[in-house]
Structure 1
Amino acid sequence: MTNIKGENFIADIHQLDVKGSGQAVVWRENEHGNPKKLKLTIPYALPGEKVSVTVERPWVRRWRAKPEEILQSHPERIEPVCPHFQKCGGCVWQHWDYSGQLKQKTNHVKQAIEAQGFDPSLVQDTVGMEDPWHYRNKMEFTFAPDGTLGLHEQGNFRNIISLETCLIAGKNMVEAAMEVANWALDHKLPGYNKDTHEGLLRHLMVRESFATGEIMLALFATEAPNSHLENAVNDLSERIGKKVPNVKSLLWLENTEWADRTQAAKTHILAGRDFIYDEMVGYRYRLWFDTFFQTNPTQAQKLVEIALEMGQPKKTEKMIDLFCGVGTFSLPFASRVAELAGIEIVETSIESAKRNAEDNDISNTYFLAKDARLGIDQVLETFGKPELLLLDPPRSGAGGKVMRRIGRSKPERIVYVSCNPDTFATDIKELIPFGYKLEVVQPVDLFPHTYHVECCALLTYVGE
């Protein structure tokens, strides 16, 4: 092993990886004068760019480093507008013109399905946003040990960047978060130290309904709001009530676990109720602090509308909604079919789905808390064969066993909603031996300035 401190390379970015970082290959000689390949991952570099980068250990096979200088820039490169860009991990593509981001997302979906043998021309252009800023209706901020509130530094989970702004979060959410940040500093309340496991304040979750205007503030702390915190807690309630009147749910959540997650052993309602109301496609939903709901309501509504257009639900049909969550797709589809069965492994989500159906006067639904594959079997026994099946699995996909079970049940039409083009492509390949044909894939951008892309696809049964 050599003692070289570092070596500079000129790298040509030939593609992006699945997390939006540039990929390059350079060659260097080893101690015997033989050529060796070095694969570079270079965040914030764009395809076709030529960049200068220093590799601290050039004898390794792979290295990750930020570009020191852009020697030849992409024509769509722009100046990022957020002061936190390249520091926090919320955005990775603010330096890329939005039209370029959309083209890259379309190409990602095309490459994913082509790799599994499908025709890439079935992929439509990605549906983007007119205004790709302030689109998120949920954010999680973290307290540093000194009590400041902010976001995790990219690549350094223990360092918190003090919050000045967030250009992808709703403006009212940022204002509400700043009020809590100022309150914590005024009362000199310590943040949680991940190394010593000491401190009071851990996280702040902010949710906002863009439809109703209601806001939830959920403060995660290592202890209950006991008597020695009475003055601080009362002040928080008064401040929020005066300065952010749209907060309809102010919560103090106890989290004594070492794991750095927004979980709670006990919930204390400081003001309002323990949920807020949201709306989508004309249906009302209750959202608790741990409810999964699409974080971009503008684009999520488009996604639901696209799914409805693809699925063509009919009043004479039965339908299964697999991985149904709290009923985001279930409710609008249930209003258009004879019967709908929703399956979801998370019991609290199923309880929410039942409550949301009741709130919207929808009575033709049946919700089952069960693993997807076993749930399908149980529903088919009691419910019968569906003409239409929709699935919206997690990023890991539905998996071969679930997809083959779907194939054997032979619904006429399958609508697959995915947040991961790669697992989507491997999943739908499982349906081909059962007689299904991929008709169309429509990507939708729910996360501007990030590499994530959702897509909605239609498969029809054409016979084995």
Structure 2
Amino acid sequence: MLEKNQIVEVDIIDLTHEGQGVAKLDGFVFFVDNALPGERIKMKILKLKKNIGFGKVEEWLSISADRNQDLDLTYLRTGIADLGHLNYPAQLAFKKKQVETSLRKIAGLTDITVADTIGMDSPFAYRNKAAVPVRRVNGQLETGFFRKNSHDLIPIEDFYIQHPEIDQVIAFTRDQLRKLDLKPYDEKEQTGLIRNIIVRRGHYSGQLMLVLVTTRPKIFRVETLVERLTTAFPNLVSIIQNINDQNTNAILGQEFRLLHGSETIVDTMLGNEFEISAPSFYQVNTEMAEHLYQVAIDFAAVDSEDIVIDAYSGIGTIGLSFAKQVKHVYGVEVIPEAVADSLKNAERNGISNVTYVCDSAEAAMQNWVKEGIQPTVIVVDPPRKGLTDSFIKASASVQPDKLVYISCNVATMARDIKLYEELGYKLTKVQPTDLFPNTHHIEVVGLLEKRN
């Protein structure tokens, strides 16, 4: 009879999609952090439920050849790099297997070939955006990351997967907040001023944006803070305050105030320049996003007669990458600021054969159908929850030759592909791309083609 705190010997036989080791014992399936397939461990039982349990490694009896032994375990404990204990070639193989498993189990596809995951030459320091909480730890204002499944802040200076200059801006800002005696946010008491620091950096331009998320409008000695920041970082071209007075896990509130410089920073993606505002979505790994979008363009194999619908168009990164090769691009995005950005970005790049609307993807799709717009290619890049049935049915009903599906959640993608297959489309190509090295996240591009 197994019980809590008992020490048992187990073999790790698999990894969950989030990178936890899996072991089986006495009818229980156990999930264990920092344990890899092929390892035998002494495991302490932390929790038992009906037929699942959670354990922790007390001792390794054998160690996987795929283990990265150099990882600072802080990155595992916070989830910053929840696959960092697996060496990089094994991470890429693991992600390919995740895609194959989801397509087989959820979409029921057994005959599709999944390409090897496209990886990075150097899978560290790649993130162009960071959002870090500010809290009091041991009586001092700190920046860092929450321990997994908790709101306990672990102070961190080197975030491992963020561009080093972003880490420098965060540490410098933290030091200035301390010197100016600005109070960190306290979730329990609902007190304090500074909730979060967000930093964005243009991969090619090197331009920096800093967003201070505060609980109220007034920041004591804000001019001094701005002056010190811009002196230390001349490429800090945008400093913005965001006010979030709600008791919520959402980072950003509704109100933005410009404290210095420009409302946006500028960067380049596949040869086009993009203005990026504080709330807009922009892929956090520019180098690999270019690979991802190039795969989507190659899969679509467009020509000058094609009409493309870009659903979930964001600030226009995907649609504008297609535009110069096709007749027209129609984009839809639900965030008004992102639509405004996409229109500015089209103008900035001298692209006129695009139309952007602010609406839900479902509604815009139905309106375009009523207007008689006949797309030959539809590109979708939905959030983690995937597509709605109504969008899938509407998009299939206009009978495009091809649907290019870009996904950050292969499980919902597989679910959606199953419905597309029922509606007369066939998945013909799948390319995983590693936009988030050292984490369990994976981006995938799939090509669906209309059956004759």
Does the TM-score normalized on the shorter chain lie above 0.5?
yes
1:83 Cα deviation from its structure 2 partner: 6.2
Partner of 1:33: none
Q: Identify the residue that residue 26 of structure 1 maps to in structure 2.
A: 25
Q: How many residues align?
A: 448
1:424–1:4 CA distance, 2 compared to 1 (3 A): closer
What residue in structure 1 maps to residue 347 of structure 2?
358
Match of 1:150 in 2: 144
Contact 1:13 1:49 (8 Å CA) reproduced: yes
Spell out the pairing of 1:214-229 with structure 2 (5 A cutoff): 214-226=207-219, 229=220
- Once structures 1 and 2 are overlaid, which stretch shifts more, 378-387 or 160-169? 378-387
Following superposition, the deviation at residue 350 of structure 1 comes to 1.8
Alignment-derived partner of residue 172 in structure 1: 165
Query: Mean alpha-carbon deviation: is it higher for 347-356 or for 311-320?
Result: 347-356
Counterparts of 2:266 and 2:150, CA distance in 1:
35
2:404 pairs with one of 415, 418, 431: 415
2:297 matched residue in structure 1: 308
User: Distance in 2 between the 1:70 and 1:283 partners?
Assistant: 50
Q: Identity of counterpart residues, as a percentage?
A: 27
1:403 and 1:428 in contact (8 A); partners too: no
Match of 1:250 among 239, 248, 257: 239
Q: 2:180 aligns with which of 142, 164, 187?
A: 187
Name which of 418, 435, 438 aligns with 2:427. 438
| 1:118 alignment partner AA | L
Q: CA deviation at 1:293?
A: 0.6
Cα deviation for residue 414 of structure 1 reads 1.2
Query: Offset at 1:163?
Result: 2.1
Q: 1:148·1:184 contact (CA, 8 Å) conserved in 2?
A: no
Q: Does 1:329 align with 2:318?
A: yes
Aligned-partner SS, 1:320: strand
The CA deviation string for residues 358-400 of structure 1, in whole angstroms up to 9 with x for no partner, is 2111111111222222211111222521111111111111133
Amino acid at match of 1:61: N
Matched, 1:80 2:70: yes
Supply the AA of the counterpart residue of 2:18: K
Compute the displacement of 1:92 (Å): 0.7
Q: Deviations over 1:148-184 (max 9, x none)?
A: 1111112222x11112211100011111111101111
Superposition deviation, residue 458 in structure 1: 1.1
**1:202 matched residue in structure 2:** 195
| SS in structure 2 at match of 1:65 | strand
1:162 aligns with 2:163: no
Report the CA distance shift for 1:250/1:8 in structure 2 as closer, same or farther (over 3 A): same
Q: Does 2:272 match 1:283?
A: yes
Q: What secondary structure sits across from 1:431 in the alignment?
A: helix
TM-score (norm 1): 0.92
| Matched residue type, 2:331 | G
**Correspondence for 1:99:** 89
CA distance in 2, matches of 1:255, 1:57: 36
Q: Does 1:122 align with 2:119?
A: no
The DSSP-based 3-state class of the residue aligned with 2:357 is strand
The letter of the residue matching 2:213 is F
**Equivalent AA in structure 2 for residue 151 of structure 1:** F
SS at match of 1:103: helix
Distance 1:113 1:264 in 2: 37
Residues 41 and 462 (structure 1), Cα distance of their counterparts in 2 relative to 1, 3 Å cut: same
1:11 corresponds in structure 2 to: 10
Structure-2 residue corresponding to 1:211: 204
Instruction: Show the counterpart of 1:32.
Output: none
- Does structure 2 conserve the Cα–Cα contact (< 8 Å) formed by 1:316 and 1:338? yes
Is the 8 Å Cα contact of residues 414 and 458 (structure 1) preserved in structure 2?
Answer: yes
CA RMSD of aligned residues (A): 1.8
Structure 2 residue aligned with 1:63? 53
Contact 2:307 2:377 in 1 (8 A): yes
Residue of structure 1 in register with 2:126 after alignment: 135
CA distance in 1, matches of 2:47, 2:290: 48
- Cα distance change of structure 1 residues 3 and 199 upon mapping to structure 2, 3 Å threshold: farther
Task: Tell me the TM-score normalized by structure 2.
Answer: 0.95
Contact 1:138 1:205 (C-alpha < 8 Å) held by counterparts: yes
* 1:278 and 1:286 in contact (8 A); partners too: yes
Shift of 1:48: 2.2
Question: In the alignment, is the contact (CA less than 8 A) between 2:331 and 2:357 conserved in 1?
Answer: yes
In structure 1, list runs of 5 or more residues that go unmatched. Answer: 28-36
SS in 1 for 2:78: coil
Partners of 2:56 and 2:425 lie apart in 1 by 44
Q: 1:344–1:383: structure 2 CA closer, same or farther, 3 Å change rule? A: farther
